[in-house]
């Protein structure tokens, strides 16, 4: 791997190597730019470093200090953070879905949220690029939305839990399909086909999973980029001319300064606004790129409620990827009394997570808990990914407490809105019908759960109403960019990683075009 010196002024210094930053690093390097990508986490080698163990693999999460408040404080950890080269894609559930086209114009077409400054047809092109780059395994034809080509790799075998979703959906007259997943169903390069070990959400120890870590990062390095791990960015420096000059970062026990012509922040919806706010100067007293006052605002999550039940049959839901089948029915139906949509997928929680659900949703403990847990192999469930509306009351600010680097920590404030609650109730009702249709007994709902994040540096049409433009370029500082899920104006009812990658691919192409026109 090529390594740059601190006083080398690289073309792009990217902070974060997840779905946004890792993808962008690969594509920008392939476009011929000099690139350094920093990550606060370790550069893991899956074959040597990854255990089949829920607790051990917490090493992949961002567990630095954070304060949560609001009426419904978020639970930070595995579902919404990552601290490793490759970011949270190292432990993502591999679900790789496209947005419904109308969501890019949800204000104009559907009457809620905000429009994106992006066109769905252009995104369709970049979704395809991302799907090819990750060799997504999926169905030949996808039941919802505009036509798309068949997925690059055939769909995976469906496990018992996935079949039960299908049975329930058919009973309700809904379409279902095999979930497009970023784990290969046949060999690809150094990746063997998925062996269905089921620890997907805790890091793939065989490299069957196609994450940033084993797709875009190697491509970035091959194209001459440097991946600098264990490097925590503390501050972006800006000169008197109002341009970013580089980044102060902590590595090997000391602070350093890396020069760069352009700085890209790809820290996701908590660390991105935190870094911009922590980089305040007398000329930018409210943080960088924040003349709109919107840095940290409109924090969104996705509703992740579930319904569980018990079958007489053995389901053994721990085998295979947890979400092998999906129905997006309610993402594409508009005859409902709330805004936004949701999908649901089959489930396969491992023992600790299942115990968390039993204690969290049902409050079980004592002998009742231990006895109930013994039905583990007969449990079945459905879990939603639902759209949460952008709301100014939900935000990331700086707290006065500090972390191990001496940096002010983020305070994360979240409460469900009225529309969110109605959507969740609707989803729980529908998933309950599906569980009843398959003959599940002792059905219960997990009402309290959320997962992916978005917002906090939204893209838009004007400097007054957004932080970055359609090219992820900040309105205030021409060589400061944000490229990750924080640019989402709305979050849709599907997992966000493929959309983040598509945005990064588009941004890389736009940067190349702008460079050719002398517009950088």
Q: Which residues bind other proteins (CB under 8 A)?
A: 48-56, 63-69, 73, 75-77, 157-160, 163, 194-199, 205-206, 313-316, 318-320, 350-352, 354-356, 358-360, 363, 365-367, 369-370, 373-374, 376-377, 404
Q: Which is nearer to other proteins, 156 or 329 (CB)?
A: 156
Cα(382)–Cα(307) distance, integer angstroms: 5
CB 450 to other proteins: min, Å: 13
CB 70 to other proteins: min, Å: 9
Q: Which is nearer to other proteins, 321 or 492 (CB)?
A: 321
Strand pairing category for 254-265 and 244-251: antiparallel
> What does the H/E/C string look like for 99-154?
CCHHHHEHHHHHCCCCECCCCHHHHHHHHHHHHHHCCCEECCCCCCCCCCCCCCEE
Q: Which is nearer to other proteins, 118 or 315 (CB)?
A: 315
DSSP three-state, residue 211: coil
Instruction: Report long-range pairs for 41-45 (Cβ below 8 Å, ≥24 apart).
Output: 41/82, 41/83, 41/84, 41/85, 41/229, 41/230, 42/84, 42/85, 42/229, 42/230, 43/84, 43/85, 43/227, 43/229, 44/84, 44/85, 44/86, 44/90, 44/203, 44/213
Cα(258)–Cα(274) distance, integer angstroms: 19
For residue 244, what is the enclosing H or E element? strand 244-251
CB 438 to other proteins: min, Å: 11
CB 185 to other proteins: min, Å: 13
Cα(232)–Cα(363) distance, integer angstroms: 39
CB 187 to other proteins: min, Å: 14
Read off φ and ψ for residue 213, nearest 5 degrees: -55, -40
Structure tokens at 267: 């820290």
Beta-bridge partners for 382: 307, 346
Q: Which is nearer to other proteins, 159 or 474 (CB)?
A: 159
Q: Which is nearer to other proteins, 92 or 199 (CB)?
A: 199
DSSP three-state, residue 250: strand
- Tokens 């003959």 label which residue? 439
Q: Which is nearer to other proteins, 230 or 515 (CB)?
A: 230
Structure tokens at 410: 């983020």
CB 76 to other proteins: min, Å: 4
CB 46 to other proteins: min, Å: 9
Q: Which is nearer to other proteins, 124 or 444 (CB)?
A: 444
Cβ–Cβ under 8 Å, residues 172 and 327:
no
Q: Which is nearer to other proteins, 205 or 466 (CB)?
A: 205
CB 51 to other proteins: min, Å: 4
CB 208 to other proteins: min, Å: 9
- DSSP codes of every residue in 442-509: EEEEE---EEEEE-SS-B-SSTTT-SB-TTSBBSS-TTEEE-SGGG-SS-TTS-SHHHHHHHHHHHHH
CB 321 to other proteins: min, Å: 10
CB 411 to other proteins: min, Å: 9
**Which whole-number Å values give the CA distances from 108 to 118, 146, 289, in the listed order?**
13, 19, 27
Q: Which is nearer to other proteins, 119 or 442 (CB)?
A: 442
Q: Which is nearer to other proteins, 140 or 368 (CB)?
A: 368
Q: Which is nearer to other proteins, 204 or 225 (CB)?
A: 204
- Tokens 């940290």 label which residue? 296
CA 503 to chain centre: 13
Cβ–Cβ under 8 Å, residues 437 and 477:
no
Structure tokens at 37: 């990508």
Sign (positive or negative) of CA dihedral 25, 87, 405, 301? positive
Q: Which is nearer to other proteins, 108 or 377 (CB)?
A: 377
CB 60 to other proteins: min, Å: 12
């Amino acid at each position: 791997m090529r390594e740059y010196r601190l006083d080398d002024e690289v073309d792009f210094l990217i902070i974060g190597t997840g779905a946004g930053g890792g993808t962008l690093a690969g594509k920008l390097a392939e476009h011929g730019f000099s690139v350094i990508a920093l990550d606060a986490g370790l550069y893991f080698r899956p074959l040597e470093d990854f255990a089949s163990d829920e607790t051990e693999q917490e090493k992949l999460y961002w567990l630095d200090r954070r304060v949560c408040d609001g009426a419904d404080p978020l639970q930070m950890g595995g579902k919404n953070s990552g601290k490793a080269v490759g970011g949270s894609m190292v432990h993502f559930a591999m679900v790789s879905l496209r947005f419904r086209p109308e969501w890019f114009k949800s204000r104009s077409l559907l009457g809620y949220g905000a429009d994106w400054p992006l066109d769905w047809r252009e995104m369709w092109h970049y979704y395809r690029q991302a799907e090819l780059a990750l060799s997504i395994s999926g169905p030949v034809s996808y039941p919802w939305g505009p036509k798309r080509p068949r997925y690059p790799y055939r769909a995976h075998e469906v496990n018992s839990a996935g079949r039960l979703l299908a049975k329930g959906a058919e009973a309700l007259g809904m379409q279902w399909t095999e979930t497009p997943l970023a784990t290969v169903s046949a060999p690809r390069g150094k990746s063997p086909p998925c062996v269905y070990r089921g620890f997907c959400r805790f890091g793939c120890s065989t490299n069957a999973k196609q994450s940033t870590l084993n797709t875009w990062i190697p491509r970035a390095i091959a194209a001459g980029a440097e991946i600098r791990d264990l490097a925590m960015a503390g501050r972006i420096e800006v000169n008197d001319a109002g341009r970013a000059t580089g980044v102060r970062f902590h590595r090997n026990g000391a602070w350093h300064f890396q020069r760069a012509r352009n700085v890209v922040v790809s820290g996701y919806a908590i660390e991105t606004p935190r870094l911009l706010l922590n980089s305040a100067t007398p000329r930018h007293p409210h943080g960088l790129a924040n003349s709109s006052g919107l840095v940290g605002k409109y924090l969104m999550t996705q509703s992740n409620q579930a319904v569980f039940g018990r079958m007489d049959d053995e389901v053994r839901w721990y085998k295979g990827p947890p979400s092998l089948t999906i129905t997006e029915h309610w993402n594409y139906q508009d005859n409902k009394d709330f805004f936004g949509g949701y999908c649901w997928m089959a489930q396969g929680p491992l023992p600790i997570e299942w115990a968390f659900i039993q204690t969290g949703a049902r409050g079980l403990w004592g002998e009742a808990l231990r006895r109930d847990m013994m039905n583990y192999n007969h449990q079945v469930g459905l879990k939603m990914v639902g759209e949460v509306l952008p709301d100014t009351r939900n935000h990331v600010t700086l707290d006065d407490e500090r972390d191990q680097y001496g940096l002010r920590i983020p305070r994360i404030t979240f409460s469900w809105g009225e529309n969110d609650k109605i959507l969740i109730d609707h989803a729980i009702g529908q998933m309950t019908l599906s569980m009843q249709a398959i003959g599940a007994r002792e059905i219960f709902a997990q009402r309290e759960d959320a997962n992916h994040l978005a917002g906090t540096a939204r893209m838009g049409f004007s400097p007054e109403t957004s932080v970055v433009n359609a090219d992820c370029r900040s309105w205030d500082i021409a060589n400061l960019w944000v490229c990750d899920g924080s640019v989402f104006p709305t979050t849709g009812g599907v997992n966000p990683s493929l959309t983040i990658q598509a945005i990064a691919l588009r941004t890389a192409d736009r940067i190349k075009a702008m460079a050719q026109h002398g517009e950088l």
